[in-house]
Structure 1
Amino acid sequence: MENRDFYCGLDVALFVIGGKWKPLILFQLNGQPRRFGDLKRLVRGISEKVLIQHLKELADDGLITRKDFKEVPPKVEYEMTEFGQSLARALAPLCDWGDANKPVIEELHRLKSSRRVLAPAI
């Protein structure tokens, strides 16, 4: 982790999981180790380059471990550390909020999108 002054605890948490992909990677690792190919398939839309970069950052921050089985073909597994599991527990209420409010957000997004389509061209 780079040296910096954090404003508050939320600043720390967002620094570690910042962006769209890291929380989704952690979600897929919560409860079981996964191979790279599994994560690539489960975290839909992520590029291989970004997945590699984020896995390295999550490992550097102590949230996950990388186990290389030193086999041919290569076999590598990623697993959440206890430290990472503590973050996953903190993110669980956010997941619950998303699950509970998904229909509302989807409807708002649908309405917003339809307004853009109906907006007159200037």
Structure 2
Amino acid sequence: MQSLNSLSRYAPYALGLLRIFAALSFISHGTQKLFGFPVPPSWGMPAAMTLPWIAGVLEVVGGTLVLVGFLTRPAAFVLSGMMAVAYWMAHGPKSFYPLLNGGEPAMLFCFIFLYIAAAGPGAFAIESRKG
């Protein structure tokens, strides 16, 4: 067990990598809604100022803040709440089971961002730089 405990010294780096890769994936949902990149949404591009468009803006702006590690905790907290709302508005009514309602990504993003809001940005963050 001693060898596994020694892995804890890598925890800030693992948290930083989780933050970066979750944010990159999250941003792609926003660029899809706002710019049709890498592919337009199957349900069509949202009109400006609609709920899906606002979600896209939050995904790009908030995701970028989390990605670079600037204002990480408040941005991650807002994104966690957004994903909880998205789950219950878009997925929960379809079925109780996340596997059946397509809500697994929303649930994972919700709890990953909640963890980042609580734990902080980890390594590789702008706000963690000294000097």
Q: Structures share a fold, TM > 0.5?
A: no
* Greater Rg over alpha carbons, structure: 1
Output the TM-score relative to the length of structure 2.
0.26
Output the TM-score relative to the length of structure 1.
0.27
Structure ranking higher in strand proportion: 1
